[in-house]
Amino acid sequence: MTMTCSGCANLPVEIGEYQAGGPVPTHSYYSKLYPAVPFLAASVIEAVESNVSMFTVYDSSWMINGTTDQILPEGMLYQRLLDNMTMGTDFPVNVSATGIGGVYGLLIQNGTRESLLIVNTNATLGLHIAIATSQFPVGGTGSEWTWAPSATAPTPLGSLTLPKSYTIPAQGLLLLDNY
């Protein structure tokens, strides 16, 4: 379509109902569990990179248990990780690790504030990454949020000197914010 419409590549896209799949009423069982978290986070990154200006996750029953009021893993993704990202201009980040696929990255900048989100959707392999100061202001003060399948919730560390390398476990997430 962009070959015949040069302005079409910049048209915003809106997705009204995005979910883990499965016909109603039998949505994916995994939507209630941690394995849905890295895939939903990767979908958010893909949507932002694809100029999807708005999408609604149609998983409201998987965000919180309506009977117990317990926040479920997808709800924690929104409440504890995505809510702590800087809002601003986004840039795709190429995160490559030899032999490991399914790694997604997004950098968001707003003035001097930046957030870097890296998601490893690989179910069996973790990765070790080095972050160059030209990509993100490592070595400065910031916060770090990590989450892996072994943890019940994201782990925040604030007011620390951001290291230059990280290990992200299989199905793990890393969010860095500079101050």
Count of domains forming the chain: 2
Q: How far apart, in whole angstroms, are the C-alpha atoms of residue 124 and residue 174?
A: 17
Provide the 3-class DSSP secondary structure of residue 61.
helix
**How does pLDDT run across 44-83, given as a tens digit for each residue?**
898 888 877 777 776 556 788 888 888 989 889 989 999 9
Q: Are residues 72 and 91 in the same domain?
A: no
Domain containing 166 equals 87-178
Quote the radius of gyration of the chain (alpha carbons, Å): 17
Q: Are residues 104 and 44 in the same domain?
A: no
Smallest CA-to-CA distance from 47 within 114, 96, 111, 119 is with 119
Q: Do 144 and 156 contact (CB within 8 A), yes or no?
A: yes
Task: Look at residues 51, 66, 82 and tell me which one is the last residue of a structural domain.
Answer: 82
**How does pLDDT run across 100-140, given as a tens digit for each residue?**
889 999 999 999 999 999 999 999 999 999 999 989 999 99
Q: How far apart, in whole angstroms, are the C-alpha atoms of residue 131 and residue 138?
A: 7
